[in-house]
Amino acid sequence: MQELHDAPLAPLTTLRIGGPAARLVTATTDDEVVAVVRAADAAGEPLLVLGGGSNLVIGDAGFPGTVLRVATRGFELDGTRLTVAAGEVWTQVVDRAVLDHGLAGIEFLAGIPGSAGATPVQNVGAYGQEVADTITEVVVHDRRSGETLTVPAADCGFAYRHSRFKAEPDRYVVLRVVFELQDADGASTPVRYAEAARTLGVAQGERAELRAAREAVLKLRAGKGMVLDPEDHDSWSAGSFFTNPILTDAEHAAFLQRVAERLGADVEPPAYPAGEGLVKTSAAWLIDKAGFTKGYGSGPARLSGKHTLALTNRGDATAADLLALAREVRDGVASAFGVTLVNEPVMVGVEL
Ligand code: EPU
């Protein structure tokens, strides 16, 4: 187990923002992870569990306690049942499942930065798949009881970018994730996302070729700056900075009224069904139409030049710079459309 003091955290995040950790510990086995967590909890010390650092905004003051870097490894396949250790790099998990084993179920989640253990926490999703579709159970350390638990998918509380683990952020540490994948003879799962179907040249609801699906997603993501590339500042982000707002039918009607007044009666904002009486609209669209277009900003923190939903670090941005931009965008969208955007990444020592 490696231990450092006053260790910079910015290089461990995809935004490359944030002050130092008082103590940074890297654990490579589940037992080490549990031991570090138990010791911090027994001492009443603050603890931050870090995976790939791709969904985190760490404040400029850093973290005053122990930061635990989960670097466990494990990829075990039993037929179509895949068990991965929390510290595995997610893109490599997808690549191995698709390219080495021809298994479908997570191919549309290719290119998503971060660790495998982080995926159930916010029910990572993209291009019509989310991990809730394939996860059968999550093995966690429960800091309240001090026990290791196997939580079946039905008890994970999965919803859009949400789970039981996100609802109680200081309670669970993910150790392993179990997926049930599909052997569909080289085919993908049915393509749900319109943009992906178009790129693959299949109708929505049809299957595509498995490897082609992975490649199409990587291409789409790269075009939006959503694949990590150290040379490309558009990818120095935490992915989508805001969740897509889910409105009740009444809120949606009021929103459409605002859109008509502001942009004209013929303008139709994106709308996707989100359950009984609920409509999901697009945060990227709201930001764009409120006047924050791609590349918006003049300081070291700006909107991505490829997607309005990503806030990016152009080189030496601080958390303060990034949050100033985030507040400007949130407040501008609220005053233009009456919809308040909510941050998607986890905030450490800062608030929006
Ligand atoms: N749009 C704009 N301007 C832009 C980009 C998009 O107006 O600069 C509008 C367009 O109307 C477009 C709509 O926004 O049709 C939706 O855009 P996109 O298809 O890129 O999807 P998104 O809703 O912005 C979500 C996820 C992404 C995921 C993509 C693809 C959330 C918060 N974000 O983005 O996930 O990759 O769909 O499935 O749900 C993440 O969570 O970090 C993330 C990157």
Q: Which of 28, 32, 43, 182 is nearest to 106 (CA)?
A: 182
Residues 131 and 213 in one domain: yes
Hey, is 261 helix, strand or coil? helix
Catalytic annotation present for 240: yes
CATH of the domain at 313: 3.90.78.10
> Is residue 132 included in any domain, yes or no?
yes
In this structure, which residue's CA is closest to atom 2 in ligand 1? Answer: 285
Whether the CB-CB separation of 233 and 340 falls below 8 Å is answered with no
Catalytic annotation present for 76: no
pLDDT tens for 119-149 read: 999 999 999 999 999 999 999 999 999 999 9
Whether the CB-CB separation of 343 and 122 falls below 8 Å is answered with no
- Residue 237 CA to ligand 1 centre (angstroms): 14
CATH of the domain at 136: 3.30.465.10
> Is residue 309 included in any domain, yes or no?
yes
pLDDT tens for 152-181 read: 999 999 999 999 999 998 999 999 999 999
Contacts of residue 30, defined as CB under 8 A and 6 or more positions apart, other chains included, come to 72, 85, 148, 175, 176
pLDDT tens for 269-314 read: 999 999 999 999 999 999 999 999 999 999 999 999 999 999 999 9
- Residue 242 CA to ligand 1 centre (angstroms): 10
- Catalytically annotated residue among 163, 235, 240, 304: 240
Residues 206 and 170 in one domain: yes
- Catalytically annotated residue among 143, 161, 164, 330: 161
Catalytic annotation present for 304: no
Residues 16 and 121 in one domain: no
Please choose from 285, 289, 306 the residue to mutate so as to test ligand 1's pocket, defined by most ligand atoms within 8 A of CB.
285
Residues 66 and 79 in one domain: no
Please choose from 130, 221, 309, 346 the residue to mutate so as to test ligand 1's pocket, defined by most ligand atoms within 8 A of CB.
309
Residues 157 and 282 in one domain: no
- Residue 32 CA to ligand 1 centre (angstroms): 37
Across the chain, mean pLDDT equals: 97
